[in-house]
Amino acid sequence: MYDAGVDASHHFIVMPLISGLTLADRARRGPVEDGEARRVGMALADALAYIHRKGVIHRDVKPGNVLLEAGGGVFLSDFGIARAADGPDLTATNCVVGTAGYLAPEQVRGLGAGPASDSYGLGLTLLEGLTGQRMYRGTPLEQAMATVTRPPEVPAWLGPQWCALLTSLTAPDPRARPSMDQVGKWFANWDQPYAMATRAVPLTPHLTAPVQVAVPGQVMPMRSRGPRGVVPVVFARRRHAVGRA
């Protein structure tokens, strides 16, 4: 962000202009090549690891929020619904903010969002880029319910490295998902033999570790719940305003 201020009654932010496509636009043209997907994945893991160390959770990692600059830059955008790791997760009574089809199961259940929720979003984002297909379709409610009832299908033709990584990133249990530092090491060791990479970078933390949610060890109180403990969800639709004051 270059500048921010108020001009008369208008609040403004000045940001760099990113010329290029979103990853969603790119995926609609067809699957992203393996090497390009790895480069994008490494950049996103690095960006998410940085904000997680600063105590910030993005909460809306998806292909539409990944900007691919014509010169090769990769940018994670739209922090409009990001929050501090120790801040409240609900913006209105019984409502969770995010994008249908990319919310982690714990977010749909109303258990809050943590760094592991961003890991889940990264998994779906890379999977969509590699296959050119969105994993969950239908109405917003159908998409949200699908993330709770069935994990995404990771096609075997992607190869053992991608299958292992994407399956771990989109694990139903947030405690089984790798951190962004682990993902970065995984990509750094990509060219090593598969068995060596899996030993060097374990992707399944011990399941007795505390779940990373908004309030560790607690379930956020909900006045009412939908079927099977799923809370009502509000899905945000946003337009990018990159480079406009």
DSSP annotation of 95:
B
Least confident of 26-30, 44-48, 202-206, 219-223: 219-223
Give DSSP secondary structure letters for 201-236.
S--S--TTSPP--SSTT-PPP-S---GGGPPP-EE-
Distance, in Å, from the CA atom of 103 to the CA atom of 131, rounded to the nearest integer, reads 19
Catalytic residue among 3, 7, 34, 60: 60
Concerning whether 60 is annotated as a catalytic residue, the answer is yes
Q: Which domains does the chain have, with CATH numbers?
A: 21-68+77-235 (1.10.510.10)
Tell me how far the alpha carbon of residue 148 is from its chain's centroid: 16
User: What is the average pLDDT across 48-65?
Assistant: 92
pLDDT tens column, 130-146: 999 988 887 878 887 88
Find the angle CA(193)-CA(198)-CA(204) to the nearest 5 degrees. Answer: 165
State pTM to two decimals.
Answer: 0.73
pLDDT tens column, 192-210: 754 334 433 444 433 333 3
pLDDT tens column, 142-181: 887 888 888 899 999 999 999 999 999 999 999 999 999 9
